[in-house]
Amino acid sequence: MAVDRGHRERSWAALQATGIDGEAGYVSLDPDEAEAELRRLFDAHSYGVVLIGGGIKNVPEYTLLFERSVNVLIDLQPDIRLSFGSHPTNVPDALHRRLEKP
């Protein structure tokens, strides 16, 4: 499921308009490449919450990618909070749910 760059930029701008500050990071659909990308993203940063969207979570063909991403994130930052979206329209709510937890 490919999402064009313009859509991603508009979605990120809409998310920031809700008061969420952070970085937009997108990974390859190849599990090996995704793991390498996650390791690069986390190399110099620590994040409170990471959202895994429905484009990975809801697609049966991406089960290995989803599983591997979750495990890599936990390995990289054991105290990370994971948020799961099912559609671009509920991403702000999904992130706010996890950001508001102590």
Q: Residue 7 has what pLDDT?
A: 67
Q: Residue 5 has what pLDDT?
A: 63
The DSSP string of 71-89 is: HHHHHH-TT-EEEE-SSGG
From the CB of residue 51, how many other CB atoms can be counted at a distance below 10 Å?
20
How buried is 76 (Cβ within 10 angstroms: 0-12 exposed, 13-18 middle, 19+ buried)? Answer: middle
Q: Residue 8 has what pLDDT?
A: 67
pLDDT 10s digit of each residue in the chain, 102 long? 445 566 667 777 777 888 877 887 888 999 999 999 999 999 988 888 999 988 899 999 999 999 999 999 999 999 999 999 887 778 888 888 888 765
CA-angle at 41, arms to 35 and 43, nearest 5°: 100
Q: Residue 102 has what pLDDT?
A: 52
